[in-house]
Structures are given as C-alpha cells and as structure tokens.
Structure 1
Amino acid sequence: MDNGAGNYQRYLNGDDEGLTNIIRDFSDGLVLYLNGITGNFCLAEELAEDTFFKLAVKKPKFSGKCSFKTWLYSIGCNAAIDGMRKRKHLSDKNVDDFYDLSDERNIEQDYLREEQKISLHRVMETLSSDYRQVLYLTFFEEMSNSEAAAVMRKSNRQIENLLYRAKLALRSKLEKEGFEYERL
C-alpha cells in the first residue's frame, strides 16, 4: 500500500487523521489537475472538495489495482465530468489570476522563473483538454503512462500517442513565445 492507501485504510478504520493526511497530501495536485480539465480554478477547487467529500461520506472501496493517487484522480475526473455537465457556462477566470510574484532572495531570478511558469501555464491553457491532462499527469504529477491511462480512461497506446502529440504542440507554442522547456 502506498501512503495514500494506508491513510485511507486508517480513515476507514475510524482514524479521522487518515483523511486529513490524504487531503493535505493530494489536494494541491488534484486541484491543478482538475483545473486542466475545467479551465476554471474556482470550479477545480470545488470539484476537489467534492472528491474528498465522496471519500469521507460514501467511503468507496479502494481495490489496490492501481496506485491510490491514480484512483483518487479518477474519482476527481469523474466529478469534473459530472460537474461540467451540470455547469455549461464556466467563469472566465484562469490560473494566471492566482499567482503571486514574490520578491525574496534574488528578485530578478525569481521574477524570471515565475514568468516562465506563467508562460508555461498560459500556453498549456491553449492546448486541448486531453493534451493538458496528459501533460499535467505525466510531467507535473509524475504518473506513469499506465496510471495516466487509467485516470483518463484510455489505453496505454492512446496515452503514448497523445503525449507525443501534446509535447509537439506544447513545444511549438513555447518556441513561438521564445521559451524552451527542458523536460520536453
């Protein structure tokens, strides 16, 4: 069992601290993943809350056939799909509205790093939803292709093809802005 699965089992056995640990460990990543699906940061936060609420109230069974993170993100993905069906008109807010630039040690270096992040997120938002999801899951969440396939309900081959096309599209758009992302 990975850490999330252990905490979930603790919660199911009556230790509320297990759920608290799951929320602490997975909430930020889940919100960013759901933002990639919805394109709306506030809605992504609500959907993440719904996902954790489902864990707390419905207590679905975790079979262990995949990692806990993959299972949790699948629940979140389903919540996003259901939520988007219910809400056809989404807010115009994007993730760039929620970044705070800091002026700590090296102001210029921190500013440039933050600008690169903003540029990357801005360009990623122009990609299709599938491209955003596969890039986010594989690079930012460091999921394997098979884990990403389980979350996105696609075959491993489809994920490989999607990831290849997504990287090409992202690289092309980043180069147009004069930015190179070394992990591509």
Structure 2
Amino acid sequence: MTAQEGAPLGLRERKKLATRRALGRAALLLALERGPENVRVDDIAAAVGVAPRTYNNYFSSVEEAICSLNVERAAQVAAGLRARPAGEPLAEALVNGIVGTVDGYTGGAEPDRAVVRVIAGAPMLRGEFLKSMTLVERALAEAIAERLEAAADRELMSRVLAAAVVAAARTATDHWLENPAGAPYHAVLRRALSFVGTEAAVAPERDG
C-alpha cells in the first residue's frame, strides 16, 4: 500500500519513495527550465545523482516523471472526500474535501502557474495528464459510492458525479490560467465545484 492509502512505510519503501519524488521534482524543474520536449532521461538522473538505469526502475517515460508529483497529489482527492464527516451532505463534502486537498499540498497559497501551465497545457504531457484525471475519477467514484449506500443507482450516480467533479476542476484550472488577474485559484475551484454540488445535493445518502 502507498502512503496515500494510510499504511506505514518501512525504511526501504521510504527511501524508494524519496528517490521517486526527487526524480519527479528534477524532471519537473528541467521541464520548466528547458521545456518538456527538451528533457532527457540522462539529465533527470544526473540531477538527482543516480544512474539512468536507476531512473528506469521508477518511470517508463520522461512524461511520466514530469507529471508524477501532480499524479501523486491528485491521488489524494478521494482520501480528502473520505476524511469529511459522515454526516456532512455530499454536496458540501465534495467541495470541502477537494478544496481541502488542494490546500493541503499548496499550504493555502496559490498554485505555481508555470507548473500548472506545463502539466495541464504542454501537448507532449497531455496523455499523462489525462491518465491522472482518469485515475482520480475512478477513485473518486468509489469514495462517492461509499456515501450513497441508500441510492438505487449509486454506481451510475457516483460515476457521473465523479466525472462532473473532474470536469469542473479541469475547467476551473483552465479559467484560472486564462485570467491571471482574476479570482484566486481556490475561489475559482470552489465556485466551479459548487455547480456540481447543486446536483449532488439531491443524491440520497446513507442514514447517519
């Protein structure tokens, strides 16, 4: 199990996770400096002080490495929903859980626009970005379904709501990038998710 799933990691696993994150950070910094298309495996490995062979134990492509920290953070979204109080209405839990997850990894500050623009906008990274969104959607649907035990169509409903949440978050991110003088990211994200919350508010949840 991963750290995101709550299981304690042994020393070996912690070292491996630290190496993976170091490679991911190096790949992202190089992408920001040179452009994603100019990043090579040898450069990433050299920046961390490991052999390219070691790099290949962690990532199968440069694109995967560049997006890895974003994927790791995105994987926490479902956990953010599960952490909300059981009695909190689903509409509120979705908004508060996702915005709270973003707060957790930005420390309440604005995300780095340059990083977000590279991850979400670079053509060569589009496949990895969409892959991460698919993983988030699947995990979020499972977390929503847990709160919809009383719903006759909970599987379909949870998948639809999860897809709507991911689409709203992506749209909020695009809007924020396109309007640098506009509202802060957290406000834009909360507003976009509130539209999904309007639909979630009518979803039957388990008692208590």
Question: TM-score normalized by structure 1?
Answer: 0.32
Structure exhibiting the larger radius of gyration computed from Cα positions: 2
